[in-house]
């Protein structure tokens, strides 16, 4: 079976009825790049940059961030890299922001990700500068985590414009034109505002890990409630559907990059909801590709409509299992 999956590397991710699906990789560490390439990733759909900020006493400066990003962009040899700005905050900051903001009462709902970047502009400006410079070496998109309203996107865009002007004055080579700016849709309020956000953003990446956590009020890392953590809950699926439809109407690209994107059990449903771009941990790519090659999008859309009429996630899971074993 492993040989068979390996053989898939060179085959396209195309459904039986000829719809091409883009399969990209999520990267958590630079060394994952090798696995992304081995497994035939068509790009990096989510570069988590947290590794640059974690487990250290000093913040990385612009040059350090630039070098790391550049090597990843160059390593992808012309395929697009989607770099997410730092998604750190709450308890993860204790090391170098000790005492600054105290202990957040609820880190998951606190000062993290873009919120932190707007509160501490130097942090985000430095990262944006590194990204703009790295973007001179190959195709790059910039992705903003934990966005919950349009004004956050506008503020980051303004900041990016200022950073670009400063870099140009300095004579630095930067991405030209400036990279597309996308939004992680991972807060229920963002999903419900997807039509407005689609005007402000150049692309969407749906983060189903956090979207599930916040929609169901289930801490994604709390084992005590792990059995209640359910991406097939109708509320989560409706938010995904609403977001995909808003993106399609506005003609902006939309991908799914949470864990469900890398699980072949969900592939038919996601395609049925109109998703054509998936980003996942590199080893999952062959399995998902295999599933895509066995599917028919018209049939998947028909099944998805039936599933979206259900109110019970157990029933949804059963319908999905049924589809997965038949096709
Ligand atoms: C998500 O929330 O689904 C996601 C892809 O981001 P992370 O897992 O890094 O929070
Ligand atoms: Mg997330």
Q: 10 Å Cβ neighbour count for 148?
A: 20
Backbone phi and psi for residue 234, each to the nearest 5 degrees, phi listed first: -55, -35
212 lines ligand 1 (CB under 6 A): no
Q: 10 Å Cβ neighbour count for 223?
A: 8
Question: What is the pLDDT at residue 98?
Answer: 61
197: Cα separation from own chain's centroid? 16
CB 244 within 8 A of CB 191: no
**Helices of type H across 178-312:** 188-192, 194-200, 208-216, 234-250, 264-272, 285-293, 297-308
In the predicted model, is pLDDT for residue 327 greater than 60?
A: no
Q: What is the pTM of this model?
A: 0.97
Rounded to whole angstroms, how far apart are CA atoms 202 and 80?
14
Mean pLDDT along residues 191-196: 98
pLDDT band at 18 (very low <50, low <70, confident <90, very high): very high
Per-residue pLDDT reduced to its tens digit, 216-258: 999 999 999 999 999 999 999 999 999 999 999 999 999 999 9
Q: What is the mean pLDDT of the chain?
A: 94
Mean pLDDT along residues 91-119: 81
Which ligand 1 atom is at minimum distance from the Cα of 145?
6
Question: What is the pLDDT at residue 76?
Answer: 98
Cα separation of the two ends of the chain: 18
Which letter does DSSP use for residue 86 in this model? P
Rounded to whole angstroms, how far apart are CA atoms 199 and 228?
34
Which ipTM was obtained for this model? 0.99
Q: Is 186 known to sit in a ligand binding site?
A: yes
Q: Is 84 known to sit in a ligand binding site?
A: yes
pLDDT band at 181 (very low <50, low <70, confident <90, very high): very high
Ligand sitting nearest the alpha carbon of 209: 1
Ion ligand 2 nearby residues (CB, 5 A): 186, 207, 210
pLDDT band at 8 (very low <50, low <70, confident <90, very high): confident
Can you read off the two tokens belonging to residue 220?
A: 């994604």
Rounded to whole angstroms, how far apart are CA atoms 121 and 267?
39
* CA–centroid distance, residue 57 to ligand 1 (Å): 25
Q: Beta strands 44-47 and 22-27: pairing type?
A: parallel
CB crowding 166-194: b at 16 or more within 10 Å, else e: ebeeeeeebbeebbbbbbbbbbbebbbbb
Question: What is the pLDDT at residue 90?
Answer: 65
Q: Is 220 known to sit in a ligand binding site?
A: yes
3-state SS assignment for residue 177: coil
Atom 6 of ligand 1 has which residue's CA nearest to it? 207
Q: For residue 117, give the nearest of 150, 141, 145, 83 by alpha carbon.
A: 145
Q: For residue 212, give the nearest of 266, 289, 152 by alpha carbon.
A: 266
3-state SS assignment for residue 230: coil
């Amino acid at each position: 079976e492993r040989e068979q999956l390996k053989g898939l590397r060179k085959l396209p991710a195309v459904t039986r009825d000829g719809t091409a699906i883009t399969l990209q990789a999520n990267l958590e560490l630079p060394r994952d790049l090798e696995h992304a390439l081995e497994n035939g990733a068509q790009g990096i759909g989510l570069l988590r940059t947290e590794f640059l900020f974690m487990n250290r006493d000093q913040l990385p400066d612009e040059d350090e961030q630039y070098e790391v990003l550049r090597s990843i962009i160059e390593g992808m040899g012309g395929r697009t890299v989607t770099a997410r700005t730092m998604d750190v905050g709450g308890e993860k900051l204790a090391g170098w922001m000790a005492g600054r903001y105290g202990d957040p009462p609820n880190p998951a709902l606190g000062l993290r990700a873009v919120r932190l970047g707007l509160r501490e502009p130097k942090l985000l400006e430095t990262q944006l500068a590194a990204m703009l410079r790295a973007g001179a070496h190959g195709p790059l998109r910039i992705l903003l985590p934990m966005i919950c309203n349009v004004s956050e996107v506008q503020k980051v865009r303004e900041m990016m414009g200022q950073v670009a002007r400063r870099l140009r004055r300095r004579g630095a080579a930067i991405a030209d034109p400036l990279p597309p700016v996308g939004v992680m849709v991972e807060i229920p309020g963002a999903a419900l505002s997807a039509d407005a956000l689609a005007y402000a953003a150049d692309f969407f990446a749906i983060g189903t890990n956090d979207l599930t956590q916040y929609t169901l009020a289930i801490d994604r890392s709390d084992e005590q409630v792990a059995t209640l953590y359910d991406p097939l809950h109708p509320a989560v699926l409706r938010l995904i559907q609403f977001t995909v439809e808003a993106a399609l109407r506005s003609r902006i690209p939309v991908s799914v990059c949470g864990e469900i994107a890398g699980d072949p059990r969900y592939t038919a449903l996601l395609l049925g909801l109109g998703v054509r771009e998936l980003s996942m941990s590199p080893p999952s790519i062959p399995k998902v590709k295999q599933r895509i090659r066995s599917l028919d999008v018209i049939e998947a859309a028909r099944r998805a409509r039936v599933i979206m009429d259900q109110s019970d996630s157990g029933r949804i899971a059963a319908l999905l299992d049924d589809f997965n074993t038949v096709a």
